[in-house]
Amino acid sequence: MVRINLLPHREEKRRQRKAAFVRLLVLAGLIGLGLQIAYAGFIAAQIANQNQRNGFIKAENDKLDAQIKEIATLKQEIDGLKARQQAVEDLQSDRNQPVYLMDELVKQVPEGIYLRSLKQENQRVILAGYAQSNERVSELLRNLSNHSPWLERPDLIEIRSTAVGQGKDSKRVFDFTVNVGIKRPRDKDKEGAPDISAAGPKVAAVAASKKP
């Protein structure tokens, strides 16, 4: 006996395929959503880890900034102590400057020059006097510039012809004013110290070996 299926089998298969496709779409959506959630969690963990690292670096930078400020403060205090120490040393050495100045003036002032006044302002001395000629003033400037270990950088401020005395005793002389620097002992010692770095490594080694 022959059996004939009169049910709409094509529509049933189409419906089954459609249901399977929908299930696949839902499954793919769930898998995609799971992957997105996992990826978002991974990114969030990476961000949290990087933020933690950034916080650690910031904390260490803050510590370094505090240490740098402390070092700068200590450096300022050290510089202040050095400046005060140098000021005390300069005061001690400056007590002998009048002696050095008078001794050098006796040695360096040539004949034909009469000093009528001198005035010291810090490390500069203003000399005023009379000279028989311009050549005497030039000789004085050369002596102060080249031949004096305590005086330096003379500068001629003014020179003019004038008359000294009255009547028959009147003489034509040159009234001059000179500004000259006076060295401190430490400046003089620096000039007299040899340049070890320029003399080569052997000289530097010998100089180092002589240090106590």
Q: How much is the pLDDT for 190?
A: 58
| Cα–Cα distance for residue pair 100/187, rounded to 1 Å | 14
Report the SS3 class of residue 103: helix
What is the distance of C-alpha 171 from the center of its chain? 57
Cβ within 8 Å of residue 146, ≥6 positions away: none
Model-level pTM? 0.47
DSSP 139-155: HHHHHHHHS-SSEEEEE
Report the SS3 class of residue 164: strand
Closest CA to 150 of 185, 126, 178: 185
Buried b (16+ CB within 10 A) or exposed e, 25-39: eeeeeeeeeeeeeee
Q: How much is the pLDDT for 186?
A: 64
Buried b (16+ CB within 10 A) or exposed e, 187-209: eeeeeeeeeeeeeeeeeeeeeee
| Cα–Cα distance for residue pair 79/96, rounded to 1 Å | 26
Tens-digit pLDDT string for the chain (212 aa): 656 555 566 777 888 888 888 889 899 989 999 999 999 999 999 999 999 999 999 999 999 999 998 898 888 889 888 888 877 776 666 677 778 788 888 888 899 899 999 888 888 899 999 999 889 999 999 988 888 888 888 999 999 988 887 777 778 899 999 999 888 766 655 555 444 344 444 433 333 444 44
Q: How much is the pLDDT for 178?
A: 92
Query: Between 3.30.1360.100, 3.30.70.100, 3.30.360.10, 3.30.450.40, what CATH number should domain 97-192 receive?
Result: 3.30.1360.100
Cβ within 8 Å of residue 204, ≥6 positions away: 196, 197
Domain boundaries, the chain: 11-79, 97-192
Q: Pairing state of beta strands 151-164 and 124-131?
A: unpaired
Q: How much is the pLDDT for 56?
A: 92
